């Protein structure tokens, strides 16, 4: 496909506008530099080792993942500084985590993981100790205590519960207490900039209180990690967070674009599209060949991206394999049979997970050419 025009891309297909993606990457890199903060973008979003390496070249310190199997896919593809920003409880999976910690260390990288229970710490320590026995290599894993700063999902309560976990971690020589994870996922999608600010202010207060308690015991809190594309400027400006996990900035989906932008937030552009084709036409609507097996709709239906000369269209759910396009209010425009429709996915992470590859196009969506194929290395990696 390399060198072929956009028109030759079979539909539906996931297409990256490489020019827009590069601009987003520069914006993020400059933002992190300006704030003097590390960024460890979340690879749960793109699941692609090549993109992780491109981000590393732009200054990222490594990647986050949510799943052990994602970490395995990334390490296998040569991305060896990996933080599993999530809890792992199954002993068989923890054995894989421990094995992966050794593999990553042997390649000059490192593995880190989050915990939110004493039982989780004990099981992790046991797995790490077992892995040491096998090889004699004394690999240590960085462990972050996850505190719940408002999401209401994982994480212990800020304060003494977190301190207790830290004390438990420090009992185990194979575990290194590396800091706190304080991620408010809900806050990312709060539309009002003021409300997002309130949410992250509370998160920062919870972190400060917890850090104070831990440091009061003479235990240093190495790093506070968290933040997503929706709120990252608030964590970056907090003086408390040392690392940003934002991932979606690279592609910017329709959902994040609905947030009222804080003036201090970089203006990221849509860089990920589903190329679709009109395959049935009718008075008042046309049908394209991309449904929710081509793009995730958990955060809303896709937007239709009109190129120059095209009228505005609204996308309606047509089921797993179809999308129904109607003229937007005030327009009568409908594309002809066989024409291309460009969709901006509602949510990039689960959309990417539906595809084996992302097709990188340079020179724009109308006249561009395919420059690079990105394999979705961790597609379907959910264990």
> Which stretches of the chain bind its own copies, using CB under 8 A?
8, 10-13, 44, 66-67, 86-90, 92-93, 116-117, 119-120, 148, 152-155, 185, 277-282, 285, 287, 290, 292-294, 296-298, 317-322, 324, 337-338, 349-350, 353-356, 379-380, 382-383
Residue-level length of the chain? 383
The token pair at 351 is 């959309």
| 19: nearest Cα among 32, 6, 33 | 6
270 burial (CB, 10 Å; 0-12 / 13-18 / 19+) is buried
| 178: nearest Cα among 239, 123, 121, 220 | 220
Nearer to its own copies, 16 or 301 (CB): 301
Q: Phi and psi for 17 in degrees, rounded to 5?
A: -80, 100
Nearer to its own copies, 96 or 196 (CB): 96
Q: Give the C-alpha separation, 283 to 366, whole Å.
A: 26
| 224: nearest Cα among 197, 193, 245 | 245
| 206: nearest Cα among 231, 183, 233 | 183
129 burial (CB, 10 Å; 0-12 / 13-18 / 19+) is middle
């Amino acid at each position: 496909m390399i060198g072929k025009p956009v028109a030759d891309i079979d539909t539906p297909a996931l297409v990256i506008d490489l020019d827009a993606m590069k601009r987003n990457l520069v914006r993020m890199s400059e933002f992190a530099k300006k704030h003097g903060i590390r960024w460890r973008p979340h690879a749960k979003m793109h699941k692609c080792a090549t993109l992780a390496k491109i981000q590393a070249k732009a200054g990222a310190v490594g990647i986050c993942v949510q799943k052990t199997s994602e970490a395995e896919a990334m390490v296998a593809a040569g991305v060896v500084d990996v933080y599993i920003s999530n809890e792992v409880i199954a002993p068989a999976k923890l054995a894989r985590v421990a094995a992966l910690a050794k593999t990553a260390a042997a390649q000059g990288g490192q593995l880190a993981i989050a915990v939110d229970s004493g039982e989780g710490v004990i099981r992790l320590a046991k797995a790490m100790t077992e892995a040491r026995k096998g090889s004699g290599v004394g690999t240590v894993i960085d462990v972050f205590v996850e505190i719940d700063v408002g999401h209401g999902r994982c994480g212990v309560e800020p304060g003494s519960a977190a301190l207790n976990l830290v004390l438990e971690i420090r009992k185990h020589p194979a575990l290194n207490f590396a800091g706190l994870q304080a991620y408010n996922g809900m806050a990312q999608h709060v539309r009002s900039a003021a409300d997002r600010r309130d949410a992250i202010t509370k998160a920062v207060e919870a972190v400060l209180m917890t850090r104070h308690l831990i440091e009061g015991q003479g235990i240093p809190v190495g790093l506070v990690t968290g933040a997503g594309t929706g709120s990252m400027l608030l964590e970056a400006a907090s003086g408390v967070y040392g690392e940003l996990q934002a991932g979606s900035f690279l592609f910017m989906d329709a959902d994040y674009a609905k947030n009222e932008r804080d003036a201090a937030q970089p203006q990221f552009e849509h860089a990920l599209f589903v190329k679709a084709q009109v395959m049935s036409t009718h008075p008042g609507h046309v049908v394209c060949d991309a449904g929710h097996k081509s793009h995730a709709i958990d955060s809303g239906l896709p937007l239709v991206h009109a190129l120059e000369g095209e009228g505005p269209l609204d996308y309606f759910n047509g089921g797993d394999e179809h999308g129904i396009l109607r003229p937007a209010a005030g327009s009568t425009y409908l594309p002809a049979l066989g024409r291309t429709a460009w969709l901006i996915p509602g949510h990039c992470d689960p959309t990417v997970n539906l595809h084996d590859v992302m097709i990188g196009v340079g020179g724009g969506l109308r006249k561009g050419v395919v420059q690079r194929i990105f394999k979705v290395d961790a597609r379907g990696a959910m264990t």
